[in-house]
Amino acid sequence: MDLTLDEVKARNAEVISEALSVYPEKTAKKRAKHLNVYEGDKPDCGVKSNIKSVPGVMTIRGCAYAGSKGVVWGPIKDMVHISHGPVGCGQYSWAARRNYYIGVTGVDTFVTMQFTSDFQEKDIVFGGDKKLDKIVDEIQRLFPLNHGITIQSECPIGLIGDDIEAVAKKKSKEYDGKTIVPVRCEGFRGVSQSLGHHIANDAVRDWVFEKGSDKAPLFESTPYDVAIIGDYNIGGDAWSSRILLEEMGLRVIAQWSGDGSLAELENTPKAKLNILHCYRSMNYISRYMEEKFGIPWVEYNFFGPSKVAESLRAIASHFDDRIKEGAERVIAKYKPLMDAVIAKYRPRLEGKKVMLYVGGLRPRHVIGAYEDLGMEVIGTGYEFGHNDDYQRTTHYVKDGTLIYDDVTGYEFERFVDRLQPDLVGSGIKEKYVFQKMGVPFRQMHSWDYSGPYHGYDGFAIFARDMDMAINNPVWGLTKAPWNAGQ
Amino acid sequence: MSQNPDKVLDHFTLFRSPEYVDMFENKKAFENAVPVADVQSAADWTKTREYRELNFAREALVVNPAKACQPLGAVFAALGFEGTLPFVHGSQGCVAYYRSHFSRHFKEPTSCVSSSMTEDAAVFGGLNNMVDGLANAYNLYKPKMIAVSTTCMAEVIGDDLNAFIKTAKDKGSVPAEFDVPFTHTPAFVGSHVTGYDNTMRSILEHFWDGKAGTEAPLVREVRDSINFIGGFDGYAVGNLREIKRLFTLMGVPHTILGDNSDVWDTPTDGRFRMYDGGTRLSDAAAAVHAKATISMQEFCTPKTLAYAAKKGHEVVAFNHPMGVAGTDRFLMEVARLTGRAIPEEITRERGRLVDAIADSSAHIHGKKFALYGDPDLTLGLTGFLLELGAEPVHILATNGTPEWQARVQALLDSSPFGRGCHAYPGRDLWHMRSLLFTEPVDFLIGNTYGKFLERDTGTPLIRIGFPIFDRHHHHRYPLWGYQGAMNALVKILDKIFDVTDADTMSPGKTDYSFDIIR
């Protein structure tokens, strides 16, 4: 039986206090600030965010290196990204994020490779700058078609006092002004991936824009030039987005950073509009380009036909009638496909309840796509969101939604156990926990190796995948028949 | 528009439709893309001897290594003990990586916590993180033991685990008698196998040597039991169960030290088990009384074995024994150490493996293989391949030492099939790429990352190693014992037959050899 709104709120409040009761007092006090039941008339979700994780609680968060190498820089395909420090960080993040790209890997593109300085004890003791100097030479010799190099700092770099900026400058000079970008994304900086995004954005500003601002663009400008910012092309997301923008008459001059190239970063100051998908990871550089080059930016959401149409119109509103008509044409063109997808899947998914816990923009952005399928998101939270994310979330979530910031493994398990959603969307570390509990699950970082989910083409895949998770016959088999009564 | 609601296209096929292919082509104008001809000539150049020499002249850059860092092995070892929560002191991102890495391989949850040290801890040390972290982990996850290791951050700033844990206990984070073994696992020393060794030794030392000075060391009374250590092993689930089966058949009293077989293979029945199985802590303590300690992976357990030897154990080390002779040696050592006979049932299993090899070896004999992986795995595989009459031409271990190289060379020298074969310690998969181009082989054996080599060089990949991300459930099937060798044999044969079929299925051209009987 469905609970009333008041009952839902009371239940959710109770669930939070139950979870908190297990913590030591000091920790309970800290964690209490990150958990809340959303009150529909409030301007934010009522949780604190972007604060240090509590030790020992099994936070799901990663680090600044993951935010820079793993998210922002790693997908730039024609540059070599050195994981600078011990071998592990580069190894665990090697080709794991499915940032699709077109190129001959190892020859003109390098995304799914693991370049590391593989620090040994002597590098810690004597410093790694000389090794780094030599590594740049070896990259130049063995990968001559690379268009640039980034140095992604791992924890020890900042602790042993290496001067990677000096090495980058020296080597850049030696190689005719080659773009070599030192990034201070040591894993201990900040409280999550988030600072890594910011540091990586700043590195683009300082070492691509500021340094190479005299570079001529590769093309003649048009009034319809835009850049896609904050789409990492996971499973091809940026592609199924780009195609819609081009169909409505815009010209995409850069992708940041999925399937992107150094030249595209350099092209971007010529854009008429920056269109920003992942606000969290790339608002910094968008704001900078607005101030420095006067380029406006607009956030958009390409999950589910309702939000796609809304976003296409919002983007078009920055242009003339040609583009506005183009947006309407695109929306109309895909409407029959969307209607067919919804007609097929909505009856199978109507009324199903979802709990989310993801990073970046997804804890709010995907809600519309679920709603297009008649589903309801009853709990959501961010791994590394800030207050502005939780403000934006209020435009998506319903009154009474359970909100959990930087959720711990314990809390998430308790919440799912009590709320009994029909689907959980989170990451690889959470996937098997909930499947063991008999709860259908989709990875919402990697699309569970499927995708794309962006755009109209992506929504068909999203709908299919949610259906195959929830309506998987295996969920009827979890209880042995002889134990069925237990 | 190509998308189709009746048969939804995803990334496998969607992007091959003309509108996307055109889009990719048009995008190149903004990419400063290298002209196709130049890419081709550079690609061709990477296949040459000249490139190989430049590649092997590398002194600083490492590209696509086949190794991970110490704490990964530490987490692996800790998870082999009953109710044990691994606790990694240092930056938190590392733990997110270890958990993801294991979950992608085993398709199972992996529980582990971090002390979440940040910039202030880098300046002032991570004592507060340890104090709070132990208290939180203990209250939240109710472990029976917390096994502490370190990330490189904590190592660089020099945190003192022993003092920190003592302080945490004084402050009541965990009860004074609660088991908190610890070890330092700097990522810039050794590899994941080193971390396994350090943690295994630290846990044994904790129980055998008075729990960090809080109790009297145990006094060894020799008992009729042996200890068995599997080492860091992507097949731990299948392998350890196979070993237990063999020991049960032989009636060998034994303790598996570090039994990961259940924690990474829990049922889906409506309940999440954070802890399952594992070596009982009382058994880990009592293991000091064993007459001997066996390690299946010598290069993964040097300090652990030295410690067991110091306690008076006879120690016997293998190199991931595989195949007939490898398993023979293993079982005979077990029989010698325990005085138990090898039962007829196992002898029959041996006979079945020999039977299978005899049936199939014509398809393997003389085939050239390249292989890479951890030092012990590559030794075990090399022995097995030689036994099958195959030629293990390139054998590479990024975490291999000159001692490993000598060991491989001795093995190669022991067989006519080892002639002209070489071991490459400390090299990576970009070196392997040059080897495969300049001295091609028929098959490559390695982990999932080997698929990039398969793509570039066209060498068919047989997946044996860690991690295996892109094939499911292999870890459930053992490689050890005669049955394990049978699994490996079938895996190798299946790939050989698949390649043969693919190579003979061109209608009217090659399909005279597309035989239904092979």
**A369 and A311 in contact (C-beta within 8 Å)?**
no
Mean pLDDT to the nearest integer, A12-30: 98
For residue B263, the chain A residues in CB contact (below 8 A) are none
Give the gap in angstroms from C-alpha B175 to the nearest C-alpha of chain A.
14
Q: Quick one: pLDDT at residue B393?
A: 98
**A426-482 pLDDT per residue, tens:** 999 999 999 999 999 999 999 999 999 999 999 999 999 999 999 999 999 999 999
Please tell me whether the interface predicted TM-score (ipTM) of this complex is above 0.85. yes
**B404-452 pLDDT per residue, tens:** 999 999 999 999 999 999 999 999 999 999 999 999 999 999 999 999 9
- Of the candidates B382, B398, B376, the one whose C-alpha atom is nearest the C-alpha of residue B449 is B398
Q: CB of B31 within 8 Å of any CB in chain A?
A: yes
> In this model, does residue A1 exceed pLDDT 70?
no
Tell me whether residues B268 and A435 touch, CB distance under 8 A.
Answer: yes
Cα A256 from chain centre: 12
> In this model, does residue B491 exceed pLDDT 90?
yes
Q: Provide, rounded to the nearest whole percent, the portion of chain B with pLDDT above 90.
A: 99
**B283 and B277 in contact (C-beta within 8 Å)?**
no
Q: Quick one: pLDDT at residue A217?
A: 77
Tell me whether residues A54 and B109 touch, CB distance under 8 A.
Answer: no
Residue tagged active-site, from A19, A63, A64, A309 = A63
What is the number of other CB atoms lying within 10 angstroms of the CB of residue B174?
A: 20
Tell me whether residues B24 and A235 touch, CB distance under 8 A.
Answer: no
The full length of chain B comes to 518
Q: Which amino acid is at B115?
A: S
Residues 242-261 of A with CB under 8 A from B: 242-243, 246, 252-255, 259, 261
- Of the candidates A32, A31, A37, the one whose C-alpha atom is nearest the C-alpha of residue A57 is A31
Q: Quick one: pLDDT at residue A483?
A: 86
Tell me whether residues A118 and B110 touch, CB distance under 8 A.
Answer: no
Mean pLDDT to the nearest integer, B28-45: 97
**A167-218 pLDDT per residue, tens:** 999 999 999 999 999 999 999 999 999 999 999 999 999 999 998 766 777 8
Distance CA A221, CA A216 (A): 11
Give the gap in angstroms from C-alpha A435 to the nearest C-alpha of chain B.
7
Instruction: pLDDT band for B252, please (50, 70, 90 cuts).
Output: very high
Tell me whether residues A54 and B136 touch, CB distance under 8 A.
Answer: yes
Tell me whether residues A235 and B11 touch, CB distance under 8 A.
Answer: yes
- The CATH number fitting domain A5-60+350-449, selected from 1.10.150.120, 3.40.50.10140, 3.40.50.1980, 3.30.499.10: 3.40.50.1980
Q: Quick one: pLDDT at residue B112?
A: 98
> In this model, does residue A364 exceed pLDDT 70?
yes
Residues 121-140 of B with CB under 8 A from A: 121-122, 129-130, 132-140
Domain ranges of chain A: 5-60+350-449, 64-190+192-215, 225-332
Q: Is A43 left (phi over 0), alpha (psi -120 to 50) or beta?
A: alpha
Q: Quick one: pLDDT at residue A212?
A: 74
For residue A464, the chain B residues in CB contact (below 8 A) are 8, 10
- DSSP states of A305-345 as a string? HHHHHHHHHHHHTTS-HHHHHHHHHHHHHHHHHHHHHHHHH
Tell me whether residues B91 and A188 touch, CB distance under 8 A.
Answer: yes
Nearest to B11 among A121, A236, A478 (CB): A236
Lowest mean pLDDT among A108-117, B185-194, B211-220: B211-220
For residue B188, the chain A residues in CB contact (below 8 A) are 85-86, 119-121, 123-124, 156
Q: CB of A410 within 8 Å of any CB in chain B?
A: yes
Best residue of B140, B164, B271, B469 to probe chain A, by most A CBs closer than 10 Å: B140
Q: At what angle do helices A428-436 and A409-419 cross, to 10 degrees?
A: 40
Tell me whether residues B92 and A219 touch, CB distance under 8 A.
Answer: no
Distances, alpha carbon A418 to alpha carbons A31, A48, A475, B135, B290, in Å: 18, 23, 18, 25, 47
Q: How many CB pairs under 8 A join A and B?
A: 353
Tell me whether residues A337 and B1 touch, CB distance under 8 A.
Answer: yes
Q: CB of B358 within 8 Å of any CB in chain A?
A: no
- The CATH number fitting domain A225-332, selected from 3.40.50.1980, 3.40.50.1820, 1.10.10.10, 3.40.1190.20: 3.40.50.1980
Tell me whether residues B67 and A91 touch, CB distance under 8 A.
Answer: yes
**A54-105 pLDDT per residue, tens:** 999 999 999 999 999 999 999 999 999 999 999 999 999 999 999 999 999 9
Distance CA B388, CA B361 (A): 6
HSE toward the beta carbon, residue B230, CA cutoff 13 A: 33
**A332-342 pLDDT per residue, tens:** 999 999 999 99
**B240 and B213 in contact (C-beta within 8 Å)?**
no
Nearby residues of B356 by Cβ (< 8 Å), 6 or more positions away: B486, B489
Mean pLDDT of chain B: 98
Distance CA B199, CA B161 (A): 13
Q: CB of A335 within 8 Å of any CB in chain B?
A: no
Q: Which amino acid is at A350?
A: E
Q: CB of B67 within 8 Å of any CB in chain A?
A: yes
Q: Quick one: pLDDT at residue A214?
A: 67
Tokens of A460: 């068909």
Q: CB of A23 within 8 Å of any CB in chain B?
A: yes
For residue A262, the chain B residues in CB contact (below 8 A) are 32
Q: CB of B27 within 8 Å of any CB in chain A?
A: yes
- The CATH number fitting domain A64-190+192-215, selected from 3.40.50.1980, 1.10.645.10, 3.60.40.10, 3.40.50.12780: 3.40.50.1980
> In this model, does residue B480 exceed pLDDT 70?
yes
Q: Is B152 assigned a catalytic role?
A: yes
**A398-421 pLDDT per residue, tens:** 999 999 999 999 999 999 999 999
Q: Provide, rounded to the nearest whole percent, the portion of chain A with pLDDT above 70.
A: 99
Helices (H), A350-365: 362-365
Residue tagged active-site, from B152, B193, B237, B252 = B152
Lowest mean pLDDT among A360-369, A477-486, B249-258: A477-486
Mean pLDDT of chain A: 97
Distances, alpha carbon B310 to alpha carbons B111, B288, B305, in Å: 33, 11, 8
DSSP 8-state assignment for residue A248 = T
Closest residue in chain A to residue B138, using alpha carbons only: A56
Q: Quick one: pLDDT at residue B493?
A: 98
* B368 strand-pairing partners: B391
For residue A120, the chain B residues in CB contact (below 8 A) are 188-189
Cα B234 from chain centre: 4
Q: With b meaning 16 or more CB within 10 Å and e meaning fewer, what string describes B344-381?
A: eebeebbeebeebbeebbeebeebbbbbbbbbbbbbbb
Q: Is there a shared CATH topology between the A5-60+350-449 domain and the A64-190+192-215 domain? A: yes
Q: Quick one: pLDDT at residue A234?
A: 98
* B433 strand-pairing partners: none
Nearby residues of A215 by Cβ (< 8 Å), 6 or more positions away: A266
Q: CB of A126 within 8 Å of any CB in chain B?
A: no
> In this model, does residue A486 exceed pLDDT 90?
no
* B369 strand-pairing partners: B392, B443
Q: CB of A239 within 8 Å of any CB in chain B?
A: yes
> In this model, does residue B499 exceed pLDDT 80?
yes
Q: Quick one: pLDDT at residue B297?
A: 98
